[in-house]
Structure 1
Amino acid sequence: MSQAFDALCDYLRRSSGLVMEQSKKYLVESRVMPIVRREKLSGLDELVLILQKNQSPKLAKDVIEAMTINETYFFRDKSPFDQFRNVMLPAMIAKRQNEKRLRIWSAAASTGQEAYSLAMILDENAARMPGWKIEILGTDLSDQVLDKARKGIYSQFEVQRGLPTPMLLRNFNQIGDSWQISEAMRSKVQFRQMNLLADYTALGRFDIIFCRNVLIYFDAARKMDILGRMTRVLAPDGFLTLGASESLIGLKTDLVGHPEHRGIFMRNGAPVPASSENKFAPRAAPAPSPAPATLPTSFAASAMQAARMRTAG
């Protein structure tokens, strides 16, 4: 098992950049072994041999998707979205008044919650941006999660994680026990498959890039490579947001941290926007902490009751 595990880790590193430590062996059992059993293979050794010989591109794709971390939820970690609303967006509105165009990239978008969270904030501020052309692109390595992102259908548990009830009722339609984000909101986001190890130049230039909670799975060399290529497609006065546990410490890049806002990075030499005291406030109340997992029933009841009241009105 150990040799096969090492060989699988080497394959994943070369094909997707994913770095797995010995402590992650349990992921093989929970994510890859079901594929071994489904394909009626003799074991992990046979699977690795097929991957190394490139005998089944579909099987290789299934393995990579199974090992990709896809944990996400609406307004995850809250702070980056507050910074988007109160720091990055006001700065971009001021800078782009002439061209009235804004391009945002949600890298490693997973099932779409991050991209749709940004879209909802932009919708709240639509009155401040009349006539603007706004593009939001979400990319991910996994076609499976992107298919879910395009459909925009989420379970009750998924929508209650970080999404305030007023936002849910304003932007989602209930379908049985699930909730689908409105067609109007889905039309604001485009999703496409892309490996972060690939070339980004065809994507064009972005004003804001969200690349959160993904670099932690790469080694230092891969991190610098990815950040270097992201910097080249970032506007000279644009912003890059990383995850709460990610930093540039020990990495050689052309990026510098915002002096006032942790987690925001800019091109080295880019002008620092003045802090905005007149912050953009959402129409709805600020997002509360995610509802406790012990209260899904009351959440659903209050949401459906509010939905019936809205329909009756």
Structure 2
Amino acid sequence: MLASAAVALGGASALAAPLAYVPNQRSGSISVIDTGKDEVVRTLNAQGRFGKRLQQVALDPSGKTLFVIDAAHNQLVALDIASDTVRSSVPIEEDAEGVTVSPDGRSLAVCVEGSQHILLVDAATLKVRADVPTRGRNPEHCVFSPDGKWLLTSNEASSDLDLIDVAAARSVALIKTSGHPRGMAFVPGTQRLYVAQETANAVDVIDLAARSKVASIATGLRTAGLTASPDGTYVYASNGGAGTISVIDVAKGASIAEIKVGERPWNPALTPDGRKLYVANGRSNSVSVIDTATRTRLKDIAVGEMPWGVIIAK
């Protein structure tokens, strides 16, 4: 009874396993996975209002609202999870892809890849507070620093990161990377940012204080997505060309294992306890579940067409 009630309320109950949200780009839907059962328990589509080109989604800290890039309609949508209805929306330009929530939950950042800028948006009202041009080209992913003072963008076409001062709403530096940066993740409790490098087949390590790359770790073919373990021990990198997950030991600064998953794995996520890793397989239309202790693939869960990634409440 408690578990089913938690599903109906969007996963609010502390007794229930966390829910994973998977945007399916070509299905215009979001698959909801119960990470206790490892099965799809709901499918969200804004009651049919989403277009057939969903991009990244972000989850507000309360777990009640999903922020969705509906690229077919060029809009950012705040979706009420419990009712599967649009709470509000705001027009955005073409080719927006990334959206992320600030650590305090008050702000959103939207990467508008095609026109080289970032929108800073009030999460409560969806009003655009600032429009920030990037120095680099084609910003795809964006991530806030743990203290919320900085926003970093991965600029695919110029192989660098913009460092944006959030309060001033301007880019203050460019940080060079190894080649075609994509997904990013901060290691908890540090100022170290790990950045997937798709053409370099590597993960770069960025020292935020020094504003520079301090290491590059070899991974698999066409590395695309990243997530860091809650204890800061490991970073998991999805290799789109190899169909694998690289396990990076942070202390050793090296990949120590590679786990086979589906075709074209993209953006992974961990459960809050770090025990299970979920990765969207874009060409397999599935999500692979990995036991992080044994580094084994437990199951593949069928989802919609071309899943973009996985988001799990922390």
TM range (shorter): under 0.3
- Larger % of helix: which? 1
- Larger % of strand: which? 2
TM-score by structure 2 length? Answer: 0.25
TM-score by structure 1 length? Answer: 0.25
